Amino acid sequence: MKTRLLLIAMLTISLANAQQISEVKLKTREFGLKKAKKETKKVFIKSFNIYYEVYKEAVDYKNGYNGTRGKKVGSATARAAVGLDGVQKDDIQEKTDLLYKEFVNDFTSKGYEIITADEASKIETFEGWEKATGPFVRESELPGVLTCVPNGYSYLFKNRSKVSKKLNQIFKGLKTPVISKELDNALVIDVNVYIMFSEIASKGFNLGSLDKVAKVKINTNLRLANNYTVQSPKEPTKLGVFGSIGIKGAMTSKNITSSVDVVYGKAKIAASAIGQYNGGIKKSIEIQGVMKKDKIRAYQKQQTVVPTSFSNNYQQIGGMTLVTVENRFSKNATWIKVDSKKYAEGLYNASSAFLKANTEEILDKVN
């Protein structure tokens, strides 16, 4: 504990004249990892993912309806979007490569051997899997979020377009304790770091039909996120020649957590691990000096028409009242100019502090 606090203090001092990051407060869970102390000196980095958000979009929709006494209420849609202008992939790649190099060095300096993807591909679990090797930047499964793969790092993945000779391997490959066992009880590590800059703010108290305003608010706050729900507009499901189906204004949600996870061995019962470590943070690590906190809003009020003898909003034809109601739409898109070097430096500072705090905890258990 004292060593970790000293590390954080030294890091804060070193950044005093550059970018500041908030304090790293780990939130960890661990059991049985000390059993690996005399068992293994091998590490397999199953995943090393540095995610960074560059675009966010949100939408709200109020459905139109017919009220009493001829009242007509039109629909309203509000959409807000915010993106980062200026981030260069080469700057992100450089810092990601450095983070990976430091992470590996933390283990090799303690006498650990890194198991390569080529070696791991020989075990039964990874039969039929394919290998990808960095450096490259690609889109992640999260809308508006990219992921960077370090130079010199390779990972294994299941190509779902090909059918495995043994179908049960598709499911077996998801069981990390099995992988550890097949790699002679090596420490199997998964790294996921999320650098986010947006948060969809609560719209506040909604009075249902009395609240006739579609509204969206996105707050900007650059940080290494702890636990966060990523929301994005849900696209309609395509049905081929039958068109598409979907609910207007629907949002998708996916929970993310920045973490360093370690699994050691496989217990004799079921597929549980002999030892395990999960390292997250109690609160997000905020990154200052790159972009200011701001609020991006979009709103649109539903049009309400109540035909009366004094209104020009309707026509009477053949004793029928015809009312034209406008369906309103608004969009507010904002692009925030950022310095790519500063953004990459902020990503590195927060990620490095997070990873080093976790590797220190892990190595303290297994050495």
Domain positions in the chain are 2-65+76-299+328-366
Average pLDDT for consecutive 10-residue bins of the chain (367 residues)?
A: 48 49 93 86 96 88 71 76 92 97 97 96 92 92 92 87 44 71 95 93 53 78 92 61 51 87 87 90 95 82 58 46 56 87 96 97 92
pTM tops 0.95: no
Torsion of CA 108, 155, 286, 218, to 10 degrees: 180
Q: Output the six-digit token pair for 337.
A: 């100019």
Q: Are 252 and 275 in contact (CB under 8 A)?
A: no
Q: DSSP class of residue 74?
A: -
Among the residues of 218-311, which ranges form H helices?
none
User: Which among 106, 44, 34 is positioned nearest to 365, based on CA atoms?
Assistant: 34
Q: Are 259 and 29 in contact (CB under 8 A)?
A: no
Q: Output the six-digit token pair for 254.
A: 């996916």
At 324 the three-state DSSP class reads coil
Q: Are 55 and 334 in contact (CB under 8 A)?
A: no
Buried b (16+ CB within 10 A) or exposed e, 68-80: eeeebbbbbbbbb
Phi-psi region of 185 (alpha: psi -120 to 50; beta: other; left: phi over 0): left
CA distance 338 to 250: 30
CA distance 147 to 136: 9
User: Which among 292, 327, 276 is positioned nearest to 222, based on CA atoms?
Assistant: 292
